[in-house]
Amino acid sequence: MATVTFIFFTILLFRSSSSISFNMPRFDPNDNNILYQGDAIASVGAIELISRNTYTYHVGWATYANRVPLWDSNTGRLSDFSTSFSFTIDTMGRTPYGHGLVFFLAPVEFQIPPNSASGFLGLLNTTTIDLSSNHIVMVEFDSFKNVE
């Protein structure tokens, strides 16, 4: 059971007419602004990846529940974007300890693909990895060196 603790998380989007800002120093299972999917749950202020069957091949997301506008469709003007966060990956002394963590932007309707554990980090799989239709931006925090 790996625990991912986000100590500070902020996203700022600047537009001439509006901006969005949020700060999440703790995660609460009753907060409707965060959606927990897959094996991710809020536990004691942190995000924990759990599985009822095994301690391996976990895939879980904690995503912001609302649309985040990155551009104005009327003007075509893009928004500026900045984020900062810190986290701890606690393996509870177990190995293997996972493949990492990803901060990502994806379309609202995007779902966890099947067979996307391990090095795919819950975002892609062997079928979707090379598709030009993927509209995903991701920053990976790798914790395991993959042979491939």
What's the pLDDT at 29?
Answer: 92
pLDDT at residue 139, rounded to an integer: 82
Residue 62 lies in a domain: yes
Q: What is the pLDDT of residue 96?
A: 63
Rounded CA gap, 134 and 142, in Å?
Answer: 21
48 pLDDT band, cuts 50/70/90, is confident
Q: Note whether residue 66 is domain-resident.
A: yes
Mean pLDDT over residues 39-45, rounded? Answer: 89
State the total domains in the chain: 1
Range of the domain at 97: 2-142
CATH code of 110's domain: 2.60.120.200
pLDDT tens digits for range 7-40: 444 444 444 445 677 788 889 999 999 999 888 8
The predicted-structure confidence for 89-130, as pLDDT tens digits, reads as follows 777 777 666 777 788 888 888 778 878 777 777 777 788 777
Q: What does the pLDDT look like over 58-97, one tens digit per residue?
A: 788 888 888 888 888 888 888 877 888 777 777 777 766 6
pTM over the 0.85 mark: no
Q: Is 148 domain-assigned?
A: no
